[in-house]
Amino acid sequence: MCSLTFMTRPANGRPVDSPTKSGLRNMARNSTTAANSPILTISSYNISSLIPGIYLPGEPMISEDEELDVSLERLFVHLSAQAAKPIFDVERFEAERDTVSQILDMLSQRTQELTPSIALASKLQFLKSLFQEMTKYTDQLRHCSHLNVRGARLLYKVIEVQIQALAFHDSRGNLAKQDVGYAEKVKRLTERLYDWGEKFYKLPDVPKDARALFNLSFGKAESALIFLRGSLPRG
Instruction: Judge whether residue 3 has pLDDT over 50.
Output: no
Nearest to 55 by CA among 89, 15, 108, 90: 15
Q: Are residues 33 and 77 in contact, defined by beta-carbon separation less than 8 angstroms?
A: yes
Q: Which residue has the higher pLDDT, 56 or 223?
A: 223
Q: What is the pLDDT of residues 5-52, one digit of tens each?
A: 333 333 333 333 334 444 444 544 554 444 556 777 766 665 443 333
pLDDT of residue 39: 75
Q: Can you tell me the distance from the alpha carbon of 185 to that of 84, in angstroms, rounded to the nearest whole number? A: 10
pLDDT of residue 67: 81
Give the least confident one: 55-69, 88-102, 194-208: 55-69
pLDDT over 80 at 53, yes or no? no
Boundaries of every domain in the chain: 14-135, 147-230
- In this prediction, residue 128 carries a pLDDT of 97
List the alpha helices (DSSP H) in the chain. 21-30, 42-45, 64-84, 90-114, 118-145, 152-166, 182-201, 208-230
Torsion of CA 75, 81, 82, 88, to 10 degrees: 170
- Look over the chain and give the mean of its residue pLDDT values, rounded to a whole number: 80
Maximum pairwise Cα distance, the chain: 74
pLDDT score recorded for residue 8: 33
When pLDDT is averaged across residues 93-110 and rounded to a whole number, the result is 92
**Is pLDDT larger for residue 6 or for residue 119?**
119
Q: How far apart are CA 131 and CA 46, in angstroms?
A: 19
Q: Tell me, what's the pLDDT at 48?
A: 43
Number of Cα atoms under 13 Å in the Cβ half of residue 70 = 27
46 phi, psi to nearest 5 deg: -65, 110
pLDDT digits (tens, 9 = 90+) for 183-229: 999 999 999 999 999 999 999 999 999 999 999 999 999 999 999 98
Q: Would you place residue 68 in the very low, low, confident or very high pLDDT band (cuts 50, 70, 90)?
A: confident
Mapped onto helix, strand or coil, the DSSP state of residue 169 is strand
Query: Among the ranges 71-80, 113-122, 187-196, which has the highest mean pLDDT value?
Result: 187-196
Residues 134, 83 contacting (CB under 8 angstroms)? yes
Q: Please state the rounded mean pLDDT for residues 144-163.
A: 96
